[in-house]
């Protein structure tokens, strides 16, 4: 989850059948996927002080840790 503030209206589509509309000015916690897409589209800003680069680095580190654990357990992807 990530804390963001929407600076423009943004429609998040987690699936083809679902649209979640966020209005400009709303702030709160949203899924990481939503936050990344909204920030990349310049429709939102992170409230936790992280930049787009920080989130990418965090996700890469998390993925690397997960892959290392899976490799160690013999269940590598």
Q: What pLDDT does 38 receive? A: 96
Higher-pLDDT residue of 12, 75: 12
Position 48 scores a pLDDT of 77
Q: Which of 34, 30, 28, 33 is nearest to 11 (CA)?
A: 34
pLDDT in tens, 19-64: 999 999 999 999 999 999 999 999 999 997 665 555 555 555 556 6
């Amino acid at each position: 989850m990530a804390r963001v503030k929407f600076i423009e209206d943004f429609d998040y589509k987690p699936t083809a059948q679902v649209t979640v509309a966020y209005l400009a000015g709303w702030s709160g916690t949203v899924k990481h996927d939503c936050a990344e897409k909204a920030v990349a589209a310049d429709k939102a800003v992170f409230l936790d002080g992280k930049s787009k680069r920080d989130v990418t680095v965090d996700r890469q580190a998390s993925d690397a840790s997960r892959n290392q654990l899976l490799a160690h357990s013999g269940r590598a992807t």
